[in-house]
């Protein structure tokens, strides 16, 4: 395993730079030389994802470099992951500016009967996602991606990711975007140049030191030095990669946070070396929060196998293939009997749920043509684990995310750079769907084009003199003979944010 490396000055030949640009269809630019000698790089916006980093873990002790940026720039404690609070739902939001109702990636596993009528697909597998995209005629993502919008405006985006290959593919917005991932390099012809500039792929590990360092090197040496991109996307796979197995507050999980922060610091140092410090607008987010597990909702999904091929289970979604409402109601009864299950959602008809005691899917931004007959979240509590970290969900395993718990929904957001306010706090809710429209605004592009569901976060910008919109809280209840579920949301203008749900058994 290769550990974190130190910045290295690389020279890229004219022919190598020309080849890289030809591979992505870019216009000819001067070849990259030593970073310090190149003061006119195009990079304007940088998005960094710390997979699974809770906002309460952005502290001087755990993340000194990120904490410094948060202190100097803008920091939010009301940033939202989109439900289901899983990686590929939010990677797709960061690629498109839409939630699952817009981009169509409804969970970490998805049911696409046109691709496979019998089982759900693993969105973490890049080859599976590329095959699905091909079968669907390039419509795996059903909302336009940021990269395609930038391409039309003569700008370039590149993704460097230490996460799964499927996550990287969706984070990039599909094919046609330079993507460097340990298991997926696109276009494929870029592979030899990546190996030459960045080196061989390190082994997967927890903490994922080598691969996170490799991804940072890829963004610096391939994206900035060679491709000279306008927008860089970086995905660091920790703390999620480590905390799933070792738990919140464990020595290994905390070590993974510190190590990921060191890589973020090395990225900042690389920008300084390249003359980009103070010129690039940086946004740092996490795709979701994190909770301790103390339940068995995962086993419940397995027990739904008793329905055989009458249903397909994809994450928390249940699709009824045969049996109609009779089978649907049988599954609902099974879900309601489980103490591990919290909120249940069903399709909406004229604003009402199709099954009593459930919440309409349209209220959580999940009403897509691919949506299932029902969707459920594991229940949760504020209980703390042995290390003192609050937030417990009734799921299998050690720790994770995916539910409507506020500890899973609450995500990290930090922004700094010439466009952002300094030493400020973000008072309004935001979500991962708001990142793309904000980037578009920063680049002088229309921030709310067709397919974008998020809002540009204008209240965070120095240029903005408009009165910030008002946040209004709202709740919706669903009752049956056994439970009462309340959905809590906040509205900012025309945009709704899911804050949490609460299910009370009676």
Give the domain extent around 283.
42-291+404-460
Which H/E stretch holds residue 329? helix 324-337
Alpha-carbon distance of 458 to 469, in angstroms, equals 10
Q: Which H/E stretch holds residue 130? A: helix 126-135
Has residue 491 been placed in a domain? no
pLDDT at site 300 = 83
Coil, strand, or helix at residue 484? strand
Q: In this predicted structure, what is the pLDDT of residue 409?
A: 98
CA distance 280 to 42: 9
pLDDT for 250: 98
Cα-based angle 488, 83, 343 (whole degrees, multiple of 5): 55
The predicted structure's pLDDT at residue 466: 76
384 in a structural domain: no
Specify burial of residue 3 (Cβ count, 10 A radius: 0-12, 13-18, 19+).
exposed
| pLDDT score for 22 | 56
Classify residue 96: in a domain, yes or no.
yes
Total domain count, the chain = 1
Please state the φ and ψ torsions of residue 408, each to the nearest 5 degrees.
-85, -35
56 contacts: CB under 8 Å, gap ≥ 6: none
Of residues 332, 327, 325, the one with CA closest to residue 357: 332
Phi, psi of 206 (to 5 degrees): -125, 120
Structure tokens at 320: 């009824």
Q: Do 37 and 49 contact (CB within 8 A), yes or no?
A: no
Residue 82 backbone zone (phi > 0: left; psi -120 to 50: alpha; other: beta) = beta
**pLDDT of res. 297:** 78
Give the bridge partners for 291, in sequence order.
400
How many DSSP H helices and E strands does the chain contain? 15, 26
pLDDT, residue 303, reads: 84
274 DSSP assignment: T
Q: What is the DSSP letter of 225?
A: T
How far apart, in whole angstroms, are the C-alpha atoms of residue 466 and residue 426?
15
Per the domain annotation, does 285 fall within a domain? yes
Cα of 382 vs its chain's centroid, Å? 24
Contacts with 333 (C-beta within 8 Å, 6 or more apart), sequence order: none
Domain containing residue 232: CATH number: 3.40.720.10
Q: What does the alpha-carbon distance between residue 193 and residue 172 come to, in Å, rounded to a whole number?
A: 19
Domain-embedded: residue 205: yes
Q: Within 13 A of 117's CA, how many CA atoms are on the CB side? A: 4
Is position 496 within any domain? no
What is the structure's pLDDT at 31? 40
Query: Is residue 95 situated within a structural domain?
Result: yes
> Residue 47 to residues 122, 281, 304, 430: CA-CA distances in angstroms?
25, 9, 39, 15
Q: Mean pLDDT, 10 residues at a time, over the chain (506 residues)?
A: 37 45 46 48 98 98 98 97 98 98 98 97 98 98 98 97 98 96 97 97 98 98 98 98 98 98 98 96 98 88 90 96 96 93 94 93 97 97 98 97 98 98 96 98 95 96 86 95 94 97 92
Q: Rounded to whole angstroms, what are the CA distances from 238 to 82, 161, 293?
A: 19, 11, 18
Please state whether beta strands 74-80 and 410-416 pair in parallel, antiparallel, or not at all (unpaired).
antiparallel
Give domain status of residue 35, yes or no.
Answer: no
């Amino acid at each position: 395993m290769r550990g974190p490396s130190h910045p290295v000055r690389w020279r890229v030949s004219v022919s190598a730079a020309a080849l890289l640009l030809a591979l992505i269809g870019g216009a000819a630019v001067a070849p990259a030389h030593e970073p310090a000698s190149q003061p006119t790089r195009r990079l304007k916006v940088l998005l960094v994802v710390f997979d699974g980093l809770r906002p309460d873990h952005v502290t001087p002790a755990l993340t000194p470099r990120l904490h410094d940026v948060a202190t100097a720039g803008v920091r939010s404690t009301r940033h939202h992951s989109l439900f289901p609070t899983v990686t590929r739902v939010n990677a797709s939001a960061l690629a498109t500016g839409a939630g699952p109702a817009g981009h169509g990636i409804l969970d970490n596993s998805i049911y696409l009967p046109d691709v496979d009528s019998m089982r759900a697909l693993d969105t973490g597998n890049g080859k599976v996602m590329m095959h699905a995209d091909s079968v669907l005629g390039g419509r795996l993502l059903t909302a336009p991606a940021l990269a395609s919008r930038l391409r039309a405006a003569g700008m370039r985006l590149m993704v460097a990711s230490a996460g799964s290959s499927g996550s990287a593919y969706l984070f990039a917005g599909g094919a046609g975007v330079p993507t460097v991932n340990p298991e997926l390099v696109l276009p494929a012809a870029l592979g030899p140049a990546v190996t030459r500039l960045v080196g061989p792929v390190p082994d997967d590990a927890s903490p994922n030191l080598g691969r996170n360092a490799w991804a940072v090197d890829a963004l610096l040496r391939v994206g900035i030095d060679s491709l000279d991109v306008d927008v860089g996307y970086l995905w660091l796979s920790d703390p999620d990669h480590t905390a799933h197995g070792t738990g919140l507050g464990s020595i290994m999980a905390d070590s993974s946070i510190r190590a990921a922060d060191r890589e973020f610091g090395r990225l900042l140092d690389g920008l300084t070396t390249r003359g980009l410090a103070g010129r690039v607008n940086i946004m740092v987010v996490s795709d979701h929060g994190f909770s301790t597990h103390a339940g068995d909702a995962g086993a419940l999904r397995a027990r739904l196998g008793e329905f055989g091929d009458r249903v397909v289970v994809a994450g928390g979604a249940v699709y009824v293939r045969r049996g109609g409402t009779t089978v649907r109601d049988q599954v609902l009864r099974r879900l309601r009997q489980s103490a591990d299950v919290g909120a249940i959602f069903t399709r909406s008809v004229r604003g009402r749920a199709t099954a009593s005691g459930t919440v309409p899917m349209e209220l959580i931004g999940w009403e897509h043509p691919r949506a299932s007959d029902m969707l459920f979240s594991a229940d949760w509590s504020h209980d703390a684990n042995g290390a003192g970290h609050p937030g417990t969900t009734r799921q299998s395993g050690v720790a994770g995310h995916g539910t409507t718990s506020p500890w899973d929904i609450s995500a990290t957001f930090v922004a700094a750079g010439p466009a952002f306010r300094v030493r400020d706090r973000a008072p309004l809710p935001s979500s991962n769907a708001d990142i793309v429209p904000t980037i578009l605004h920063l680049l002088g592009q229309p921030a709310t084009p067709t397919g974008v569901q998020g809002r540009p976060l204008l209240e965070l910008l120095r240029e903005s003199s408009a009165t910030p919109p008002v946040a209004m809280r709202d709740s919706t209840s669903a009752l049956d003979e056994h439970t009462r579920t309340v959905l809590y949301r906040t509205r900012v203008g025309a945009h709704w944010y899911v804050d949490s749900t609460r299910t009370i058994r009676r």
